[in-house]
Amino acid sequence: MEKIRVIVNGGAGKMGRSIVKAIYGSEDLDLVGVADLLNQGEDAGTVAGISPLGIKITSDLERLLKESGAAVMIDFTSPLTVMDNIHAALQHRVAPVVGTTGITGDNLEQIKKWIEQYDTGAIIAPNFSLGAILLLKAAQLCARYFQAVEIIELHHDEKLDSPSGTAINLARHIYKAAGKQQPQKEALEKIPGTRGGNVDGIPIHSIRLPGMIAHHEVIFGDVGQVLTLRHDTMDRSSFMPGLFLAVRRAPANKKLIYGLEKLLD
């Protein structure tokens, strides 16, 4: 069986190091390049805490895309650079699998145009955890029976964007499942923003603290009762089964797939 050749962009970050380590232990994925602005020139395996791999971390993503023969680029970088990374990958006919959040609806429309132009697909997911997808499915079911809901998302303090892409995705799916916007009541905010943000009429509250990874809580309320759904990511290894599912589907994909749930339906 021929292995899928993979580049990891953002490979020196916390998530990137976990991905490099997981690919090293995979039977059907072949790591052929690692890009990052950090740890340039160092061995990607050593940075990831495993044996040296003979792959030096480089800041030249363009060169990797052009010369490595990669079929897939995994991107866990920054909302500030992710669109440039996706465009570069598609230009070189390398399928991007993206976990970087902060991608907007307008960004997705632009990505669709690039996909059509370069005849190469992309898979983008706010969350690659299978547990997070089950949380989404459960929340959609509950939305049909409860009149009100709020979302709390908690992440590590190095996460730049808020709310998380997972929280936004949750709110949009809950709104669709409910079939209507929940009742809105006037709120007197003594300090602006204390009631959180708002997506399709659903309040979202963001917390950033050291010691956390990724946590999402959906709280439903109705007369005389409250139902809480919560998913906690305790280790980044939980993202690998979903991420690798996307990587394995990516080479043959010719469209935009947004959300890991699309690969599980």
Tell me the pLDDT of the chain (265 aa) as tens digits: 789 999 999 999 999 999 999 999 899 999 999 999 999 999 999 999 999 999 999 999 999 999 999 999 999 999 999 999 999 999 999 999 999 988 999 999 999 999 999 999 999 998 999 999 999 999 999 999 999 999 999 999 989 889 998 999 999 999 999 988 887 777 788 998 899 999 999 999 999 999 999 999 999 999 999 999 999 999 999 999 999 999 999 999 999 999 998 998 7
Q: Which fold has domain 130-233?
A: Dihydrodipicolinate Reductase; domain 2 (3.30.360)
Helix (H, G, I), strand (E, B) or coil at 229: strand
Annotated catalytic residue: which of 14, 112, 137, 159?
Answer: 159
Instruction: Sketch the domain layout of the chain as residue ranges.
Output: 4-124+236-264, 130-233
**Number of C-beta neighbours around residue 117 at 10 A:** 11
pTM of the shown model: 0.84
Of the candidates 80, 101, 132, 118, which has an alpha carbon nearest to the alpha carbon of residue 256? 118
Query: What DSSP designation does 181 have?
Result: P
- 4-124+236-264: which CATH number, 3.90.180.10, 3.40.50.720, 3.40.190.10, 3.40.50.300? 3.40.50.720
Q: Is 159 a known active-site residue?
A: yes
CA–CA separation, 74 and 32 (whole Å): 12
Task: Confirm if 79 and 44 have CB atoms less than 8 A apart.
Answer: no
Q: Is 155 a known active-site residue?
A: yes
Helix (H, G, I), strand (E, B) or coil at 4: strand
Annotated catalytic residue: which of 3, 56, 155, 254?
Answer: 155
